[in-house]
């Protein structure tokens, strides 16, 4: 089928995009290469479509489908969308992406190259032709232009032939293969799609479930994205699958997406809006009572579907403080021990069944008891704070203790619980013993970045203390603000403030943190605090998921990353995230990435990319699996930016 006929079929609703397809993701480089291949008559592949009944077809967008049957693009979305945008001058109705990816594509008559418009390079240069304008205006306009321009007129025939080669792309034939027949189900089509895209991102169970939902409620995806955007602005980043899971547990009582098979569009719509209210209520509980007020410290996000299910069944709110604290007690323990870090659906369903089978009024007791049996006990021990790095499971819990306790800032003496932390990490992590000092004394990376060497302070205080040793600045804090050190669980034996006694300091502080943890958790249940001296030292426990890998560990590394980020900004590109947290499909933190652009250096127009400094193979594998390009030196990263993002011609570098 000719390109022009394909585009016309899209406008008529005869060809559309299936709902489960990802959005438009091609970069400008891919657009340039594709158009160059078409211009030179190189093979560019065939298309695969699913020929299915128009009524109830899971098509994306709000365009009307033609009566009878419609062809849904399974393979060829990026190519056809690119052609549509360049030839028509605007994206198709099913478009989901940034139209600037194919806007203002230019062709150089002499060099026969495609580039995107740059005013310095192209303004007033007659050799550059706007491809979209050519496609829409035809050769006549440019024939007159060529013969009016002396430098073009000399080779008029050559240039007109080249323009004709571009215009004739509209008549290029694409071979189309079809998947058709009444026996073909959406599940079969998704399997075909995944096989075609074996080198890329697979469709998840959530994608399939959402495609079925959108077949009956076309606005579902857009509505859900609006909800996610609202939470993003509040400091919480959630994925579409996570929101879908919340709605699924509410409408079906189970966590499995396939349970949505027999749920009507109206039932799902009601469940989604109920989930939105329950999630808002839950986040307010977690932020207000526990102080976990932004994404970096929100542990156990996959416990939230259980919570929202419970709240929805209670009519949208809890009856009193006791019920609230009991529910939060369960929630905290789920992320402390990695309840949902493994088989997420299995444990979610187990907890949902427990809620459903418990005696009225005893649901939360049953949930806590099940967690206690699974774990062995629910006691926090000093060794639980022996982890290191911001990816450690007890890192959010230390933040929690700071928020709910009487922790004071060491530079002002003000309590940190009264809004000073704020959203988006306005409070900074402070290394009690400076990193540089510890490295100079031969301590390892894990010892330097031990959790027990962390506390939270305001940015100003952190800067004032800088690289001063505790032996020097602790006495000043004691004199200025009595009780401030103790409020952050600092052992008061002055010998432990010396760098040579650093291991003993860590051990002593771990004990103080464990006592504070058990005291707070006991307060949620209104029980007496657990005395650690009476706790058996060894019990068999399920092993929690491993600690998170990656992260910035030295001041020098951080400075390198900041300098690189500043350079990127000077190049006119998007600012990157230093210490970006890579979240897995199950909602758990996988790695802390040194410097990352999850939406690309040109948001929506280029690939996700990251810069890693002295990281291991595990971080690289996780990034590769998540679809990131990554570079391990600043030099190689800058080459990528200059050659592929900015497309700086080597011949022009000296200009």
Question: Do 555 and 618 have their domain in common?
Answer: yes
Q: Say whether both 162 and 178 belong to one domain.
A: no
Q: What pLDDT score was predicted for residue 428?
A: 80
Cα separation, 353 vs 347, in Å, equals 10
pLDDT in tens, 146-158: 999 988 998 999 9
131 in a structural domain: yes
Domain membership flag for residue 370: no
Residue 254 domain flag: yes
Give the DSSP H/E element, type plus range, for residue 461. helix 459-465
Closest CA to 632 of 611, 616, 654: 611
Question: 176 forms bridges with which residues in the sheet?
Answer: 47
**Residues 459 and 416 reside in one and the same domain:** yes
Is it the case that residue 397 has pLDDT exceeding 80? yes
State whether 413 and 515 are in the same domain.
Answer: yes
Helix, strand, or coil here: 427?
Answer: coil
Counted residue by residue, the chain has a size of: 655
Q: Band of the pLDDT at 330, cuts 50, 70, 90?
A: very high
Buried b (16+ CB within 10 A) or exposed e, 344-365: bbebbbbbbebbeebeeeebbe
Q: Among 143-157, 301-315, 482-496, where is mean pLDDT lowest?
A: 143-157
Range(s) of the domain holding residue 50 = 1-103+173-203
Buried b (16+ CB within 10 A) or exposed e, 173-197: ebebeebeeeeeebeebbebbbeee
Q: What is the C-alpha to C-alpha distance for residues 103 and 141, in angstroms, rounded to an integer?
A: 20
Last residue of a domain, one of 487, 505, 534: 534
Q: What is the pLDDT of residue 616?
A: 76
| Residues 226, 327 share a domain | yes
Q: What is the pLDDT of residues 534-559, one digit of tens each?
A: 544 444 433 333 455 677 766 577 78
Residue 36 and residue 51 share a domain: yes
> How much is the pLDDT for 64?
83
- pLDDT by residue (tens digit) across 160-204? 999 999 999 999 999 998 888 667 766 677 667 666 654 444 456
pLDDT per residue as tens digits for the range 26-39 = 878 889 999 999 99
Answer yes or no: are the C-beta atoms of 78 and 96 closer than 8 Å: no
Q: Are residues 397 and 353 in the same domain?
A: no
402 plus 336 within the same structural domain: no
Distances (CA, A) of 198 to 193, 202, 220, 424, 454: 9, 7, 27, 37, 43
Give the domain-ending residue among 534, 565, 600: 534
Tokens 């250096």 correspond to 601
What value does the mean pLDDT take over residues 223-229? 92
Which residue among 362, 391, 416 closes a domain?
362
Who has greater pLDDT, 191 or 304? Answer: 304
In the predicted structure, residue 569 carries a pLDDT above the cut 60: yes
> 274 and 214, same structural domain?
yes
Residue 329 pLDDT > 90, yes or no?
yes
pLDDT for the residue 186? 64
Q: State the DSSP code for 173.
A: B
**Same structural domain, 465 and 448:** yes
Q: What CA–CA distance (Å, rounded) separates 99 from 102?
A: 6
Give yes or no for a contact between 436 and 465, defined as CB atoms under 8 angstroms apart: no
Which pLDDT score, from 0 to 100, does residue 318 have? 94
Handedness of CA 89, 93, 94, 100 (dihedral sign): positive
Percent over 90 (pLDDT), the chain: 45
Q: Is residue 539 part of a domain?
A: no
620-640 confidence digits (pLDDT tens): 888 988 889 999 999 999 989
Could you tell me if 219 and 185 lie in one domain?
Answer: no
Q: What is the mean pLDDT of residues 468-486?
A: 96
Query: 491 and 621, same structural domain?
Result: no
What letter would DSSP give residue 433? S
- 93: nearest Cα among 15, 38, 205: 15
C-alpha 491/C-alpha 640 separation (Å) is 49
User: In angstroms, how far apart are the furthest CA atoms of the chain?
Assistant: 96
Phi-psi region of 381 (alpha: psi -120 to 50; beta: other; left: phi over 0): beta
Domain count, the chain: 5
């Amino acid at each position: 089928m000719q390109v022009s006929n394909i585009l016309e079929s899209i406008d008529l609703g005869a060809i559309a995009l299936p709902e489960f397809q990802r959005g438009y993701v091609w970069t400008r480089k891919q657009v340039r290469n594709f158009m160059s291949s078409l211009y030179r008559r190189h093979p560019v592949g065939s298309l695969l479509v699913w020929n299915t009944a128009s009524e109830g077809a899971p098509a994306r967008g709000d365009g009307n489908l033609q009566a009878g049957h419609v062809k849904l693009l399974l393979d060829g979305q990026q190519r056809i969308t690119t052609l549509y945008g360049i030839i028509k001058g605007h994206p198709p109705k099913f478009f989901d992406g940034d139209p600037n990816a194919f806007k203002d594509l230019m062709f150089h008559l002499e060099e026969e190259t495609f580039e995107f418009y740059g005013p310095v390079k192209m303004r007033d240069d007659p050799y550059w032709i706007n491809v979209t304008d050519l496609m829409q205006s035809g050769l006549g306009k440019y024939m007159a232009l060529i013969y009016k321009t002396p430098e073009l007129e000399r080779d008029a025939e050559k240039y007109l032939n080249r323009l004709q080669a571009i215009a004739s792309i509209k008549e290029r034939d694409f071979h189309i293969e079809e998947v058709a027949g009444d026996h073909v189900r959406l599940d079969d089509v998704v399997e075909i799609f995944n096989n075609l895209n074996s080198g890329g991102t697979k469709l998840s169970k959530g994608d399939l479930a959402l495609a079925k939902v959108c077949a009956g409620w076309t606005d579902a995806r857009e509505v859900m994205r609006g909800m996610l955007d609202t939470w993003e602005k509040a400091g919480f980043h959630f994925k579409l699958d996570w929101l879908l899971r919340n709605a699924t547990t509410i409408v079906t009582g189970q966590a499995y997406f396939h349970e949505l098979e027999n749920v009507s569009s109206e039932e799902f719509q009601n469940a989604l809006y109920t989930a939105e209210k329950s999630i808002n209520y839950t986040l307010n509980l977690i932020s207000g009572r526990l102080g976990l007020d932004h994404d970096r410290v929100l542990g156990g996000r996959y416990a939230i579907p259980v919570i929202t299910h419970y709240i929805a069944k209670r009519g949208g709110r809890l009856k009193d403080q006791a019920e609230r604290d009991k529910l939060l007690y369960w929630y905290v323990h789920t992320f402390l021990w990695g309840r949902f870090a493994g088989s997420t659906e299995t444990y979610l369903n187990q907890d949902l069944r427990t809620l459903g089978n418990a005696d009225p009024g005893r649901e939360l007791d049953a949930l806590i008891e099940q967690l206690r049996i699974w774990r062995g006990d629910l006691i926090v021990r000093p060794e639980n704070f022996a982890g290191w790095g911001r990816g450690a499971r007890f890192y959010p819990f230390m933040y929690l203790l700071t928020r709910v306790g009487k922790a004071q800032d060491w530079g002002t003496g003000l309590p940190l619980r009264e809004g000073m932390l704020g959203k988006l990490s306005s409070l900074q992590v402070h290394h009690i013993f400076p990193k540089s000092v510890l490295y100079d004394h031969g301590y390892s990376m894990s010892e330097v970045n031990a959790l027990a060497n962390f506390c939270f302070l305001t940015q100003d205080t952190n800067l004032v203390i800088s690289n001063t040793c505790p032996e020097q600045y602790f006495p000043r804090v004691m004199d200025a603000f009595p009780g401030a050190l103790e409020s952050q669980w600092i052992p008061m034996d002055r010998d432990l403030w010396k760098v040579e006694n650093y291991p003993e300091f860590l051990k002593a502080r771990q004990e103080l943190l464990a006592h504070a943890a058990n005291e707070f958790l006991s307060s949620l249940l209104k029980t007496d605090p657990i005395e650690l001296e009476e706790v058996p030292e060894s019990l068999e426990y399920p092993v929690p998921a491993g600690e998170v890998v990656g992260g910035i560990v030295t001041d020098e590394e951080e400075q390198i990353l900041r300098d690189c980020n500043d350079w990127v900004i000077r190049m006119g590109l998007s600012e990157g995230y230093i210490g970006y947290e890579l979240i897995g499909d199950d909602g758990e933190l996988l790695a802390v990435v040194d410097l990352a652009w999850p939406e690309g250096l040109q948001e929506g127009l280029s690939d996700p990319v990251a810069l890693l400094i002295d990281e291991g193979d595990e971080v690289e594998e996780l990034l590769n699996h998540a679809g990131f390009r990554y570079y391990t030196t600043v030099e190689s990263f800058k080459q990528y930016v200059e050659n592929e993002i900015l497309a700086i011609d080597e011949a022009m570098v000296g200009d």
